Structure 1
Amino acid sequence: MSCYHRSAAIVILTASLLPTAVLASTDDAWEALRADVSAKCLEAAAGSMEAPQAVVDPFGSESFGLALISGKPKGAEGRISQICVYNKQTKAVELGGELTEDMLKTPAK
């Protein structure tokens, strides 16, 4: 096999394996992002909620990770939710205002 053909075969073989390797690392990266969004949003909500729980948007937006945090408000009855926005670049989080269960119900038609 000539040097040219050998080089071409190596390039083709490497290129055929590349999508699998990229996909695997992308899945790992998305999972790491979701875990960080969850942890930071739960930490931010711990001051206003007892035992908060997070539902993380699987991919968020282009610039932000997104989660809905829900739990019992500290010192009160019922259940509240807050939208959590995670800046993918700075990793800072911000919480929206408290949404009550009544605010989240869809009106009957």
Structure 2
Amino acid sequence: MSFHNRSALVALLAAGLLPSVAAASSDDAWAAMRTDVSAKCLKAAAGSIEKPRAVVDPFGSESFGLALVSGKPKGAKGKITQICVYNKQTKTVELGGELTEQMLKTPAK
């Protein structure tokens, strides 16, 4: 096999591997973002929810990571849920207000 043919074959094989490497990197990046969203949302909710549990939207929106954080409100009975918004650029979070189980079950008017 000539040097030119070998070079072409190596280039072709490398090009074929690039999409799988990019996909793995992208999957790793999404997983890292979800882990960060969960950790920061749980930390933010720890002041108002005992043993909070986060359910993270796998991809969020274009600009924001999103999660629902739920659990027993500190010093009260029942269960509350808060919407947690994670800014993908600044990597900071904000929590929405406390939504009770009744609020989540009542149909919108």
Shorter-chain TM-score above 0.5: yes
Q: Shift of the alpha carbon at 1:14?
A: 0.3
| Identical counterparts, % of pairs | 75
Displacement over 6 Å in runs of 4+: none
AA aligned to 1:104 is L
Please name the residue that 1:92 is paired with.
92
Please report the TM-score for the alignment, with normalisation by the length of structure 1. 0.92
AA aligned to 1:85 is V
Q: Shift of the alpha carbon at 1:106?
A: 5.0
Mapped to 1, the partners of 2:13 and 2:106 lie a distance apart of 54
Residues 51-85 of structure 1: per-residue CA shift (max 9 Å, x gap) = 10000001111111100000111111111000000
Mapped to 2, the partners of 1:74 and 1:104 lie a distance apart of 19
Moved more, 50-59 or 5-14: 5-14
Mapped to 2, the partners of 1:61 and 1:10 lie a distance apart of 39
Structure 1: which 5+ runs fail to align?
A: none
**Paired residue secondary structure (2:28):** helix
Aligned residue-pair number: 107
Please name the residue that 2:74 is paired with.
74
Residues 6-43 of structure 1: per-residue CA shift (max 9 Å, x gap) = 22212110011111111111111111111100000000
When the two chains are superposed, the root-mean-square deviation of aligned CA atoms in Å is 1.2
